[in-house]
Amino acid sequence: MGERRANRGRHLPPEILTDDEVHALLRACSAKAATGIRNRALIAVLYRGGLRISEALSVFPKDIDRNTGAIRVLNGKGKRARTVGIDPGAMAILERWFDMRTRIGLSGKQRLFCTLEGRPMTDSYVRVLLPRLARKAGIEKRVHAHGFRHTHAAQLRAEGVDIGIISKQLGHQSIATTARYLDHIAPLAVIDTMRKRVWRF
């Protein structure tokens, strides 16, 4: 309990997830129950779209272009709107939730990620959900919504995506902000330089 109190005011460093760890989180969600299908879709959007949790929970079905994987974010940080993209694999997971929404009688008037009764989901629910899924999946890292955003950014950088594209995807005001963000979560230049050193023993 004392350790938990000590951590409350401390800003813990980001922990980047691997593809295998995210797949384990998805497997920890039910593949048949409506809540499991919804939670899998939420993880896919956070992980492959890099949205903030407040942004993801504010999206309505009409904000998704199901043909292109484009997501309109109308409630971004600083009230700025932007459009982001997700890949076909993430869209396929999201499509299962669209199908389930139709089956359980949800309409476009309810937010994309909502309760089975159509009420908005809360970030507090997600804060409890993700660590529970992590325990079930056997993941020892801290798993939280913003960690998916960190992972998304780090993976894009590792894939060589232009920093201007990463900046637009994340919704940063400037490329300088993105550069600082990336250097904090994924100092690839430092790591790459250290890996090139030779130690003979």
Task: Say how far apart CA 141 and CA 151 lie, in whole Å.
Answer: 13
Let me know if domain 15-192 sits in CATH 1.10.443.10.
yes
Task: Say how far apart CA 152 and CA 134 lie, in whole Å.
Answer: 18
Give the pTM: 0.87
Task: Say how far apart CA 77 and CA 88 lie, in whole Å.
Answer: 26
Of 142, 138, 162, 139, nearest to 150 (Cα)? 142
Helix (H, G, I), strand (E, B) or coil at 74: coil
| Per-residue model confidence (pLDDT) at position 199 | 87
| Per-residue model confidence (pLDDT) at position 12 | 66
Q: Which residues are marked as active site?
A: 52, 77, 146, 149, 172, 181
pLDDT tens digits, the chain, 201 residues: what are they? 443 444 454 566 678 999 999 999 999 999 999 999 999 999 999 999 999 999 999 999 999 999 999 999 997 787 789 999 999 999 999 999 999 999 999 999 999 999 999 999 999 999 999 999 999 999 999 999 999 999 999 999 989 999 999 999 999 989 999 988 888 887 766 777 788 888 888
Give, in order, the Cα–Cα distances in Å from 87 to each of 7, 44, 72, 124: 36, 10, 15, 27
User: Residue ranges per domain, the chain?
Assistant: 15-192
Task: Say how far apart CA 85 and CA 49 lie, in whole Å.
Answer: 6
Give, in order, the Cα–Cα distances in Å from 198 to each of 91, 116, 193, 201: 43, 57, 11, 10
Contact 108, 60 (CB under 8 A): yes
